[in-house]
Amino acid sequence: MICTLEQKGIEELNSTKILPQTPFWGRIKKEQGFIPAAFELTVSKSLLESDAEQLSKKGEDLLVLIKYIDRDTCYAYVPYGPKMEPEFENQGVFLEQISENIKPHLPANCIFIRYDLIWQNQWSAEEEYFDLQGNWIGPPQTNTQEFRVNYKTHNWNLKKSSSDILPKNTFFLDLTQSEESLMANMRYNTRYNVRKALRNGIQVREYGIEHIASWYKLYEDTALRHNMPLQNEGYFASILKNQDNHKKGVTIKMLMAEQDGNYLSSMFLVLSGNRATYLYGASSSGRGNMMASYALQWESIRVAKAWGCTEYDMFGSAPNLNPHHPLHGVHIYKKGFGGDLYHRMGCWDYPYHQELYNQFRFQELNMMN
């Protein structure tokens, strides 16, 4: 089976709807201390499909981020990649082949590679993992997941990461529908709240970097209210500065909802390929901010549709309706806009140095507790 990688420049990465696999994402992460590397990945289709012809090949670009843990060790991270999605039973051997073939291109002190997989979670395709109300109960315990994913691999080396980085569950909205259909497919309360906000005079406008302080004030309010870790204002300014701002690249729109000159809600809408992504959202703790967020979300959907996007990624939710999940409220809000819930595989590791990897994993688990 063929699997080759050829290094290329970050800015040479082809445009894609997968935001964390774009040159833009590489630039942003470089400012956060990662070392971005880009590759052209070519594999035989037999690595993806069991009945494919051996000589048939398929290629794509791959963004990899190198992060140093300390002076002597680092790891590689693949955000929402690889984009190619094998059959369920081929996923493990596909990742094993890539991991072994990319190893010579990584620093000698790289102790593991972590894939943040966008592929459909295998267990979300099986009825036994749903309750009687149709809610997904989640994947089985870790050792069961690892047993299945490592099926057909030579080294039996893939490990479910102790934590996930990018959102693993999300709602996708089909933007090929008309605005009338999009509105009709919303839940009644969501549709009511959108219309009420508009009747109340909530206005949504796009703003540039000169209003980043107003955005950050809303973001800080939201983060403190929900006990979230804080990014600094410079991080959000860098997102706007690093955008490509053309159809073939990544465009960022900072949208803000206001009433009587007061900013009530804001978001970063990201347009990449045919996909729009609701990357960051913020709102004031004042009265009426929830109505503003409904008007804001509806306008961002309309903007994305007008831009030519065919799908809208809500970028994160709870996996089900469990009221105790920390993202339960977010799930209810996003579900109201009528999208389809999608479950990703999340993060998986392939260790190169088992002992050092075990130490890192132990420290990571301690930080979570």
Please report where in the chains the tokens 């590791």 appear, as a residue.
Answer: 349
Which of 35-44, 46-55, 273-282 comes out lowest in average pLDDT?
46-55
Report CA-CA distances (Å) from 297 to 209, 237, 294, 308, 333: 20, 21, 5, 17, 10
Residue 202 confidence class, pLDDT cut points 50, 70, 90? very high
Domains 3-166+345-368 and 176-309 share a fold: yes
Cβ neighbours of 118 (radius 10 Å): 21
Report CA-CA distances (Å) from 221 to 51, 79, 123, 160, 228: 54, 28, 37, 34, 10
Cα 123 to its chain centre, rounded Å, is 19
What's the mean pLDDT when you consider all of the chain? 93
Domain boundaries, the chain: 3-166+345-368, 176-309
- The confidence score (pLDDT) of residue 76 equals 98
Contact 333, 281 (CB under 8 A): no
- The confidence score (pLDDT) of residue 47 equals 86
Measured CA to CA, the distance from residue 37 to residue 10 in angstroms comes to 6
Domain 3-166+345-368 CATH assignment equals 3.60.20.10: no
For the chain, what is the largest distance between any 2 Cα atoms, rounded to a whole number of angstroms? 65
pLDDT tens column, 161-184: 998 999 999 999 999 999 999 999
pLDDT tens column, 242-292: 999 777 899 999 999 999 889 999 999 999 999 999 999 999 987 656 689
> 176-309 in CATH: which number?
3.40.630.30
Residue 25 has pLDDT above 80, yes or no: yes
- The confidence score (pLDDT) of residue 149 equals 97
Report CA-CA distances (Å) from 22 to 17, 25, 276: 8, 5, 14
- Whose CA is closest to 209, among 243, 242, 235, 237? 237
Contacts of 52 (CB under 8 A, 6+ apart): 44, 45, 46
pTM of the model: 0.94
- The confidence score (pLDDT) of residue 289 equals 64
